[in-house]
Structure formats: C-alpha cells, structure tokens
C-alpha cells in the first residue's frame, strides 16, 4: 500500500490514520471479503479514501472504486497510484449507470445510512452484479447504534433496524445471510496445529500499515495442552470467552472519556493562564534605563503558587 499524504478526517468517512474502535471495524469488513475477491471483478461503491479498494486489489482481477466526492477520488488516485488493476472514478452510488453483470463482487460499507435514495443505491448495485456474484453491504443497527446509545450521527440520513435492512435486501436477492459485527473484549484460545478446511474458520490479523495475514498471528501468552494415550477426540479449533456486561470495555470507555475531559480542562486552563500573562505584560511598565528587568516566574510555578 502506498504511503502518501493523509486525507483529512472530518467524521464523515474513515481514513487509515484513525485509531481504536473505528480502525478495527472498518478494516475488518474489507479483510472479511478479501478472500472472496480473489480473481474477481470487484466494485467498491462509496470507496471513500480508497484504502479498502487497494486492499482488495492485492488479490482481485480488477477493482473499481467509486465515490461521489471528487476530493476523495483525487486523493485515492494519487495515494494508490501504480496498481494496474485498481482504478477510481467519481460517481453517485445512488444513480449508477454501470453495465449489467459487470462485477462478480460488489461491496459497499457504511453507505446505506448516508443516503435517502436507498432503493436507488441497491437497484444500481444489483444491476451491476453478475448472476452468481456476491453483494456485501453493511449498515449500523439503529436499535443499538442509535436508540440504545442515545446517539445521533450528524452524517447519517436514515439508519435502519434489522427488519428494514433485510426487507430492502430480500426484495432484490433470493438468498441473504446477515452477520453481526461488534468490537468485543475476549479471551481467545486457538489451536497451534495446522488448520483443516473444517476447523479453519476465517481469522485475519492486520498490522498498523494495513497488511493482512490469514490466521490469528499473535504470540501466545500461555500454552494449554490436551493429552491422551489414545487418539484425541474431535476438538474445537478455537474457543472465545467474554462477559456480556463487557466490564473491560466499559472501564476502557470510562478512562477514555475521563482523559478526554481532563485534556479539555487542561487546554482551557492553559488558555486562561496565557491570557492572564498577556494582560500582565501589557500592564507592566517598561524596564528603567540601566536596570535589568527582574526574572519572571515560570507560568506553572505562578499557577501553583510556589517559588521559582
């Protein structure tokens, strides 16, 4: 993936420089479909910055990334230049006029909730998809993302409940499987034996530069062995354990909010101190000829009330 100037993060679209939860959520979606893109003609509708299109281009026959924002398209063309099977064009995803059945895999992540013309979006994507192709599309669950959290995203036009989401899809596709996505804190136990097709599952590990590897590529903290004098019975390839109350996550969120609040208060106090010092300098008489100006206290000692 090419290095280059970052696209400004405004809150409307993800950029690879984002961190924490949003980084996991957005990269995981593209990592999930990467193996499905192998050797296929791929459309990434509302591709934004272009990072996901570039990731899929590593295995696809070809990838076309479309976005309505000319700034994002220009950025993607510059940042991910040099990949012969990857291209970017400007287009409104709700008014596509692509040739019928011209793509084998169509992805559109976190687009649906940003547009009012949701039927137009899905009609265009369906038209561009081959008969045996796959459409992979994501959208936040209004019940959890908005209602339960009491949160309103200013960039979202219409969020959907699960039944509304499925209704839109089943009107155009006979077969629909809905997956859930959520960032969780879990304890993971996984087999170190080479996986078989039956036990492999789908696990991918991404590094901070966006490179993706198949499998759980982590150094073990502990080893757990299962032993027997006879052939082992069928054993699970992985085991995941977590608490429904997400106590670790709740503590993490509490600390993040506390640190952000403290940072804002510190910035406010620094601004007040700087303003007070400027008023003091403006009011103080100039030094007398031949007499040195007395040294000033450091601002933080002045604030703390201690000697310099």
- Tell me: the pLDDT tens digits for 126-158? 999 999 999 999 999 999 888 888 888 888 999
More confident site: 307 or 264: 264
* Structure-block tokens of residue 64: 């076309």
User: Residue 33 above 50 pLDDT?
Assistant: yes
Structure tokens at 2: 């090419």
Q: Is residue 89 within 8 Å of residue 66, measured between CB atoms?
A: yes
Provide the pairing of β-strand 187-190 with 238-241: antiparallel
Q: Which residues of 23-44 are buried (b: 16+ CB within 10 A; e: fewer)?
A: bebbbebbbbbbebbeebbbbb
Tell me which range, 40-44, 180-184, 217-221, 291-295, is most confidently predicted by mean pLDDT.
40-44
When the pLDDT of each residue in the chain is averaged and rounded to a whole number, the result is 83
Q: What percent of the chain has pLDDT over 90?
A: 46
Does the pTM of the predicted model rise above 0.75? no
Pairing of strands 129-138, 86-90: unpaired
The secondary structure of residue 148, as a DSSP letter, is I
**Of 279 and 199, the one with more pLDDT:** 279
| Number of Cβ within a 10 Å radius of residue 78 | 14
pLDDT tens figures, 76-121: 999 999 899 999 999 999 999 999 999 999 999 999 999 999 999 9
């Amino acid at each position: 993936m090419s290095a280059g100037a970052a696209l400004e993060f405004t809150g409307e679209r993800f950029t690879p420089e984002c961190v924490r939860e949003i980084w996991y959520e957005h990269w995981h979606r593209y990592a999930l479909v990467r193996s499905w893109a192998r050797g296929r003609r791929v459309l990434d509708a509302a591709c934004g910055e272009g990072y996901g299109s570039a990731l899929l281009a590593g295995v696809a026959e070809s990838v076309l990334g479309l976005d309505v924002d000319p700034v994002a398209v220009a950025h993607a063309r510059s940042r991910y230049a040099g990949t012969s099977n990857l291209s970017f064009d400007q287009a409104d995803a709700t008014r596509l006029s692509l040739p019928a059945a011209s793509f084998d895999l169509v992805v559109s992540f976190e687009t649906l909730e940003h547009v009012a013309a949701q039927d137009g979006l899905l009609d265009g994507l369906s038209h561009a998809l081959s008969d045996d192709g796959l459409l992979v599309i994501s959208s936040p669950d209004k019940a959890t993302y908005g209602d339960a959290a009491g949160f309103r995203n200013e960039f979202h036009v219409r969020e959907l409940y699960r039944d509304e989401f499925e209704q839109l899809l089943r009107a155009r596709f006979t077969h629909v499987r809905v997956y859930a996505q959520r960032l969780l804190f879990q304890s993971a136990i996984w087999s170190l034996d080479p996986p078989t097709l039956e036990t492999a599952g789908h696990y991918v590990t991404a590094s901070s530069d966006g490179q993706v590897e198949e499998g759980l590529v982590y150094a073990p903290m502990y080893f757990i062995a299962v032993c027997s004098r006879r052939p082992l019975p069928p054993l699970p390839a992985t085991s995941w354990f977590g608490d429904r109350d997400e106590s670790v996550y709740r503590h993490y969120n509490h600390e993040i909010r506390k640190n952000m609040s403290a940072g804002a208060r510190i910035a406010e106090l620094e601004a007040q101190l700087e303003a007070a010092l400027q008023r003091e300098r403006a009011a103080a008489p100039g030094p007398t000829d031949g007499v040195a100006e007395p040294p000033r206290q450091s601002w933080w000692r002045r604030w703390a009330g201690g000697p310099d």
